[in-house]
Chain A
């Protein structure tokens, strides 16, 4: 029995809304994704945590997935919405392959498709609660872009979502340069992820690094970063700044 009354005023433009609900807040969320362009393609890193509010509940969540032959998608935010997006992309790639004509959707096309999806959901006040990072290589051209839950999209040489924007991007702005080698790229990403691990409470010390080049996608096995908690600034944080914790 339905006791709720959802009466809309006559001048309302909203459609029928008796049983379904709109997204109000996310439940199981992933934290930052960081990615950069390097010599042979794109490197992307994300930890494997799925938080349930303030609880670090799930510790084996893969937040990066290959899409088609040329792209890699990383997501932060609501994990179930990420899974829904993967389903849309699965259909998209399937129909693209069914043409069987030598043409294929590259990372730019997938990125723009996702932008349309995210923006249209935002317009209906029912967003997919994710920030996405889409990277790939096609015919030697490297591509790295991001889309937010409200449909803001752009490309850059390095991108990050969530806390990564505040903690990782400044490091990348300083240390990134064209044609990084694979080792340097990984080192740079690990530097960013370590800072995130120290400072983002929803980060866990179990991450994967994914690489996409012309040859294809490789996602590493999960591993941990070495941390050092004996810095004097950690031991005595108030020394330089009174009142801090």
Chain B
């Protein structure tokens, strides 16, 4: 990005009518590790890539349960994401206390967007450096929204944010027309495949990705590693049958093993599309 003289303050417009601080905040989102979301008529699946600083440390939490019917995946400054998740949880629980009813996700998203907008119009604040993929249910079914640091929000059938998200977006763009009527399991498979696209050749293991599901009759929850690994294994088996370059080790890795020791093993899973 080019440095220029109108980018010091969020409250300074550039002559071209841009707020550079807001755009820089959106850059922060692009630098974060990938998060994807996709929805059918009845379910929404969120997925993200977990990068840990080193083999010794745990990875950052990027998917948060906000309520039984709403969850969020973040990309960018995870600290900002954590604070916004706490705000969302608070709003949901207050609404539920007053009305004994779940807060419609569409309204939560607008409240979140208005909160982000405030930070673009106060000289003593800075925009939140995090993009949020909000998955939730409301009276009209399943929804997926993307909330930007700029205070804009959009509804999506499927979307990907963060680094190397373009690969995932390309994959999703090819398939999205079928998502509305997808079954829950197919949706999860598509999410995992989209995550794999962002890894650009790195081996896909359940230890480096997190998948969460919410749907009608299914409260928001994060799938456990064992389940995710099983699904990954079914891809690998299919890939083995198709391509000879498939890695036998990857398919036989124990589901519960969270060790990242063998991350840069010999060979690489075939780029199967």
- Report chain A residues within 8 Å CB of B110: 99, 101
Alpha-carbon gap, A4 to B101, bound state (A):
47
Query: Across the A-B interface, how many residue pairs have beta carbons closer than 8 Å?
Result: 33
Q: Total interface residues on B, using CB and 8 Å?
A: 12
Known: A102-B139, A102-B140, A103-B139. Contact between A109 and B104, CB under 8 A? Answer: no
Alpha-carbon gap, A107 to B97, bound state (A):
15
Kindly name the residue among A99, A103, A109 whose own CB sees the greatest number of chain B CB atoms within 10 A: A103
- Report chain B residues within 8 Å CB of A80: none
Which of A103, A108, A111, A112 is in CB contact (< 8 Å) with B104? A103
Residue A113 lies at the interface, judged by CB distance under 8 Å to chain B: yes
B101 near A99: Cβ-Cβ < 8 Å: no
Nearest neighbor of A99 in chain B, beta-carbon distance: B107
- Report chain B residues within 8 Å CB of A103: 104, 106-107, 138-140
A113 near B99: Cβ-Cβ < 8 Å: yes
B95 to chain A, nearest CB (A): 9
Which of B100, B107, B139, B140 is in CB contact (< 8 Å) with A112? B100
Alpha-carbon gap, A109 to B101, bound state (A):
6
Which of A101, A102, A109 is in CB contact (< 8 Å) with B99? A109
- Report chain B residues within 8 Å CB of A106: 101
Nearest neighbor of B138 in chain A, beta-carbon distance: A103
B106 near A108: Cβ-Cβ < 8 Å: no
B100 near A108: Cβ-Cβ < 8 Å: yes
Residue-wise, chain B 79-93 has the 8 Å CB interface mask toward A (1 for contact) of 000000000000000
B106 near A112: Cβ-Cβ < 8 Å: no
Residue B98 lies at the interface, judged by CB distance under 8 Å to chain A: yes
Nearest neighbor of B107 in chain A, beta-carbon distance: A99
A141 to chain B, nearest CB (A): 12
Alpha-carbon gap, A109 to B99, bound state (A):
4
Alpha-carbon gap, A106 to B101, bound state (A):
9
A70 to chain B, nearest CB (A): 12
- Report chain A residues within 8 Å CB of B107: 99, 101, 103
- Report chain B residues within 8 Å CB of A105: 99
Alpha-carbon gap, A162 to B107, bound state (A):
39
Tell me which residues from 95 to 116 in chain B have a Cβ below 8 Å from any Cβ of chain A.
97-101, 104, 106-107, 110
B140 near A108: Cβ-Cβ < 8 Å: no
B98 near A108: Cβ-Cβ < 8 Å: no
A112 near B98: Cβ-Cβ < 8 Å: yes
Residue-wise, chain A 91-122 has the 8 Å CB interface mask toward B (1 for contact) of 00000000101110110110111001000000
- Report chain B residues within 8 Å CB of A101: 104, 106-107, 110
Nearest neighbor of B140 in chain A, beta-carbon distance: A102
- Report chain B residues within 8 Å CB of A99: 106-107, 110
B138 near A112: Cβ-Cβ < 8 Å: no
B135 to chain A, nearest CB (A): 17
Alpha-carbon gap, A106 to B139, bound state (A):
11
Alpha-carbon gap, A111 to B107, bound state (A):
20
B100 to chain A, nearest CB (A): 4
A151 to chain B, nearest CB (A): 13
Residue-wise, chain A 193-222 has the 8 Å CB interface mask toward B (1 for contact) of 000000000000000000000000000000
User: What are 5 pairs between A and B in contact, CB < 8 Å?
Assistant: A102-B106, A102-B140, A108-B99, A109-B99, A112-B100
Q: Identify the 7 closest CB pairs spanning chains A and B, nearest first.
A: A109-B99, A112-B100, A103-B104, A109-B101, A101-B106, A112-B99, A103-B139
Given contacts A99-B107, A102-B139, A109-B101, 6 further A-B contacts (CB under 8 A): A99-B110, A108-B100, A109-B99, A109-B100, A112-B98, A112-B101
